[in-house]
């Protein structure tokens, strides 16, 4: 009986699983891969190590785009957008036959200091991106009290309709609307701009 239990708990990795893991690592989050392969994150990390693809944090302090998105609690497309439009520095990492985008943690913090308005620092757990500069502690505290909790949350159709009505029918200011629906004035401004482009084609 004991032998049988041991056998089932040590499920062998198949070639197909290895291929899937190597293909999607750094593209999908470990959580997604874990669900797809029905294996724990610890098992994935152990397997990656055996395959010679060591945790990306070991790559000279780099993180993948997905890891950074998870740390900052933003959508992965937001990171790609920063790379393309806001000059977030990145480099190409190679592990075995794979290449993926890596972001140097020290370079990220330097960039983040110049682009504080884009990030809600209160969402970054302490010491997830090491080494963490001293200024982040104060910024985290500031953002906790001053940034809306729902920032970077996807807009619903209901919110869009409410925003449009409050701004154009009730004549409320962007700041006032932001306070009422828990969004920053900057977020309100950007959303109105998108809605205008949708509703009023040029």
pLDDT given at position 148: 67
* Residue 158 and residue 128 in contact, taking contact as beta carbons nearer than 8 Å: no
Across the chain, where does the E strand assignment appear? Answer: 62-64, 91-95, 98-104
Which pLDDT does position 58 carry in this prediction? 46
Parts of the chain with a pLDDT under 50: 1, 5-8, 55-60
Task: State how far the Cα of 89 lies from the Cα of 122, in Å rounded to an integer.
Answer: 22
Domain-wise residue ranges, the chain: 2-53, 57-141, 157-199
Q: What topology does CATH give the domain 57-141?
A: Arc Repressor Mutant, subunit A (1.10.10)
176 in helix, strand or coil? helix
Q: In whole angstroms, what is the distance from residue 7 CA to residue 61 CA?
A: 37
**pLDDT value of residue 201:** 62
**pLDDT, tens only, 149-190:** 666 677 888 888 989 999 999 898 988 888 777 777 778 888
């Amino acid at each position: 009986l004991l032998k049988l239990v041991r056998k089932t708990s040590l499920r062998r990795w198949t070639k197909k699983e290895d291929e899937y893991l190597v293909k999607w690592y750094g593209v999908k989050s470990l959580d997604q891969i874990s669900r797809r392969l029905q294996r724990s994150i610890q098992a994935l990390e152990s397997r990656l190590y055996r395959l010679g693809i060591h945790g990306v944090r070991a790559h000279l302090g780099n993180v993948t785009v997905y890891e950074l998105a998870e740390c900052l609690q933003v959508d992965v497309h937001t990171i790609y957008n920063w790379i393309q439009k806001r000059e977030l520095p990145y480099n190409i990492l190679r592990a075995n036959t794979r290449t993926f985008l890596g972001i140097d943690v020290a370079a990220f913090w330097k960039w983040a200091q110049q682009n504080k308005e884009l990030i809600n620092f209160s969402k970054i757990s302490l010491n997830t991106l090491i080494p963490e500069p001293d200024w982040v502690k104060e910024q985290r505290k500031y953002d906790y009290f001053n940034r809306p909790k729902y920032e970077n949350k996807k807009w619903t159709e209901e919110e869009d309709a409410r925003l449009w009505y409050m701004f154009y029918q009730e004549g409320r200011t962007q700041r006032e609307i932001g306070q009422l629906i828990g969004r920053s004035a900057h977020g309100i401004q950007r959303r109105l701009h998108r809605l205008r482009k949708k509703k009023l084609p040029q």
